[in-house]
Amino acid sequence: MGRMPCCEKVGLKKGPWTPEEDKKLVAYVEEHGPGNWRSVPAKAGLERCGKSCRLRWINYLKPDIKRGNFSMEEDHTIIQLHALLGNKWSIIAAHLPNRTDNEIKNYWNTNIKKRLIRMGLDPITHKPIKSNSFEAYDEFKDTTNMGHVAQWESARLEAEARGSILQVGSGSSNLPRLNLSKIPTQPCSSSYSISNEHMTAYNMYALVLATNYDLQSSVSTLSVPKLPEVCTIIGKFANAESLLSYKNDDNVVEISSQIQKVVEGSVSNLQDDDIMMAVEAFRTAKCESIQELFNESAVEKV
DNA sequence: AAATTCCACAACCGCTTTTCT
DNA sequence: GAGAAAAGCGGTTGTGGAATT
C-alpha cells in the first residue's frame, strides 16, 4: 500500500499553524475546492505536507465547523452513541452536525471519560467498576468476547431510566429520534464467542432499529442511516448471524443471502423498492429471532 | 511574581480503506 | 486485477494557556 510521506521525512514544517498559513490554505481551497491534497502545499505556497493541509482544513478551517462548548444534548448523544458503538468517532460525528470526529474524540477523552470515572463507571464498558476480585474475574470473563455488551446495556438502562426516549442530534427537527427502548437486548450468553467486529455490526443494526428508519418512504426525513448504509450494516450483520446458527430459519437465510448479494454488488438490477422490501423483511425476521435468543440467554443467566 | 502542574485541544503518526490508473 | 495514490480513521503526543502552589 502506498503511503503519504510524513512531514519529517521530506523536511516540511510541523507544529501549530500560523494565521498566514491558514489564510493561504483557505484562499486555495476557496478557489480550487478541497481534494488532491498532495499538490495543495506547492500550489498554495505552503511548506506543509498534503496530509497536514487536509487535517487543518477538515478539523479547523472548514467554514461550517461548529466550535465552542458542547450542548447538553450533544453531550448526551455522544455518551449514548459511544455506549452503542465504542470509539467510532467518525460515525458518532455523523450524528452531530458540524462537529468533527477529532473534536468529539478530544471532548470524550478530556471531559466525558473523566466524568464516567468519577461516577465509578468504566469509560470503556460503561459498567460500574468493581473492586471485588471475583466480580472482577466474572467481568473479565464476560467482556473478553462481548466487548460492547456492557456498553450497550448501560446505555439502554440509562435510556429507560430517563423515560425511554432520547433525542439524537443537537435539537434539529430533521434529525432522527433515537428510541432506545425499541432496541432488543443483546445476546449475553457466554457460550457465544463474538468478535468485536460482529458486536459492532450488531450495535449498528440496533441503531438502525432505534432510529425508526422508515424503509417504505422514498424520501425519508431521517438523515441517518441512509439506505446504502442500512444495506451494508445488515449485510455485515447477516454474516454475524450465520455464526450465531440461525441457519435453520429458511426465511432469514433467503433474505439474508439476497441482501448479501446486493451488498456485495453481485446483484445490480434490483430496484430500490426491492431492496427496501428485503431489508424490511429481514429486519422483521431478525427482530423476532434475536428476541428468542435473548430470552434463552436470560433464562440461562437466572 | 515566579515556578509548577493541570487541562484542553490542535496536530501528528501509522495504519486501513477506498479510489484511481 | 494489481499497484499506487489519496483519503479516512483512531490513538497518541505536543503545545499553550489557566489554575494552583
Domains of chain A: 19-61 (1.10.10.60), 69-195 (1.10.10.60)
Read off the C-alpha cell for A82.
459511544
Q: Which nucleotide is nearest to A56 (CA to C1')?
A: B11
Which bases of chain B come closer than 7 Å to a protein CB? Answer: 7-18
Per the CB < 8 A criterion, the answer to whether A208 and A233 are in contact is: yes
Closest by CA position to A233, among listed A99, A80, A88:
A88
Q: Which residues of chain A have pLDDT under 70?
A: 1-11, 127, 129-302
The answer to whether the beta carbon of residue A48 comes closer than 7 angstroms to any atom of strand B is yes
For every residue of A83-109, DSSP letters joined together read HHHSS-HHHHHHTSTT--HHHHHHHII
Predicted pLDDT of residue A73: 82
Q: Which residues touch strand C (CB under 7 A)?
A: A 1-4, 15-16, 35-39, 50-51, 54-55, 58, 87-91, 101-102, 105-106, 109
User: Which DSSP string corresponds to A189-207?
Assistant: -TT----HHHHHHHHHHHH
Nucleic acid strand B within 7 Å of A15 CB: yes
Distance A48 CA to C16 C1' (A): 21
pLDDT at A12: 78
C-beta separation of A178 from A291 below 8 A = no
- At A129 the pLDDT is 66
Amino acid at A267: V
Look at residue A217 in the predicted model and tell me its pLDDT.
31
**Alpha carbons A93 and A95: distance in angstroms, whole number:** 5
A234: closest CA among A294, A157, A290?
A290
Whole-number distance in Å between A142 CA and B1 C1' = 55
Residues lying close to strand B (Cβ under 7 A), chosen from 91-120 of chain A, are 102-103, 105-107, 109-111, 114
Grid cell locating A80: 449514548
